[in-house]
Amino acid sequence: MKPTMLAAIAESAQAPLAVRHIARPIPGKGQVLVRVHAAGVNPLDTKIATGAGAHARQPLPAVLGLDLAGTVVELGEAVEGFVVGQAVFGMAGGIGGAQGTMAEYIAVDARLIAAKPHALAMSEAAALPLVFITAWEGLVDRANVRPGQRVLIHGGAGGVGQVAVQLAKARGADVYATGSAASLDFIRALGATAIDYRAQSVEAYVQQYTAGEGFDIVYDTVGGSTLDAAFLAVKPYTGHVLSCLGWGQHSLAPLSFRSATYSGVFTLAPLLTGQGREHHGAILREAAALADAGQLQVRVDPRQFALADVNEAFRQVAESRGTGKTVIRLSSD
């Protein structure tokens, strides 16, 4: 009899997820089998469960979940750099038809994972991959953030935003971040200058913090009208706007009049196309180094969710009720 495992399955759009026994995967060439200790819940997971999120190309029924932290239990053929028993983390599945992380085991492409930071618990490490990779691909890969630059993060208390603040700080930038009044203390605690976007116009805070020059880098992690605000806040000629949610219809005129540049960030591409997967592993190794150096923390929601509580965890994320990243714990740290 083949071994089985428990997994949370989205059987059809809008239906509650079902926790069922399914066959345990066998690692193929270049894959490792990971026993999942914790799985992060991202807004995209909840969208897929409702039948939205078409860009993720995840037909239902499916095991959902992008992020994980766990332990290597078996190596497939031609895998190097990992050993059985090693703690790892990564953004490893849940889109493009691949099994997701909300299961007791998952066979993952070894290029997509890295050794877990020693400084982080499993639940903390599981909260990090998607948001850190998204922050890195924007700030480092696209904008080459560096010491002395003024960097504005839109949505500094959000999942990507709080990591982007810490990453820009770690690389020597002078960091500012927008948020609601309730989030300003948290943003300050991360080391950024906090800006209440409801209390100040773009023109007002650009004048206050840059003497009207504009910010060298503006990272929009919110989308919609916030991206339009980013076009107004960026420095002429040398400024660079980034967005991980730039999917709407926007006028480029404000950006063009500044002769500034724009880059989109689509973190899912390596999982969907197979191209650039090694880079994801490399980015995660950078995340681990920063965490172990005390320069990166992640806020995990204090509520404890087991796999059996997956539907309540999804509701919390869909309704934005958490105070930090929602994580499903499949075993103790």
Last residue of a domain, one of 264, 296, 315: 264
Residue 331 is predicted with a pLDDT of: 83
Examine the domain organization and report whether 247 and 273 are in the same domain.
no
Examine the domain organization and report whether 96 and 187 are in the same domain.
no
Examine the domain organization and report whether 43 and 162 are in the same domain.
no
Examine the domain organization and report whether 118 and 29 are in the same domain.
yes
- Beta-strand pair 62-63/4-10: antiparallel
Whether 333 shows a pLDDT value over 70: the answer reads: no
Last residue of a domain, one of 247, 264, 281: 264
Examine the domain organization and report whether 155 and 71 are in the same domain.
no
Q: Which residue has the tokens 């270049």?
A: 30
d(CA 67, CA 112) in angstroms, rounded, equals: 11
Examine the domain organization and report whether 101 and 43 are in the same domain.
yes
Look at the chain and report how many structural domains it folds into: 2
Whether 73 shows a pLDDT value over 90: the answer reads: yes
Give residue 67's domain range: 4-128+268-329
Examine the domain organization and report whether 164 and 251 are in the same domain.
yes
d(CA 323, CA 205) in angstroms, rounded, equals: 27
Examine the domain organization and report whether 38 and 102 are in the same domain.
yes
**pLDDT tens per residue across span 148-165:** 999 999 999 999 999 999
Examine the domain organization and report whether 161 and 210 are in the same domain.
yes
3-state secondary structure (DSSP) of residue 68: strand
The CATH number for 248's domain is 3.40.50.720
Last residue of a domain, one of 264, 293, 310: 264
Residue 332 is predicted with a pLDDT of: 67
Examine the domain organization and report whether 251 and 290 are in the same domain.
no
d(CA 331, CA 180) in angstroms, rounded, equals: 35
Task: Say which DSSP state 139 is in.
Answer: I
**pLDDT tens per residue across span 129-144:** 999 999 999 999 999 9
Q: Please say whether the beta carbons of 209 and 193 come within 8 A.
A: yes
pTM for the model: 0.97
Q: CB within 8 A of 4, min separation 6: which ones?
A: 21, 22, 23, 24
Residue 173 is predicted with a pLDDT of: 98
The CATH number for 119's domain is 3.90.180.10
**pLDDT tens per residue across span 270-319:** 999 999 999 999 999 999 999 999 999 999 999 999 999 999 999 999 99
CA angle, 230 then 233 then 238, to 5°? 100
Residue 158 is predicted with a pLDDT of: 94
| Average pLDDT of the residues in 3-25 | 96
Residue 212 is predicted with a pLDDT of: 97
Examine the domain organization and report whether 245 and 296 are in the same domain.
no
Examine the domain organization and report whether 111 and 87 are in the same domain.
yes
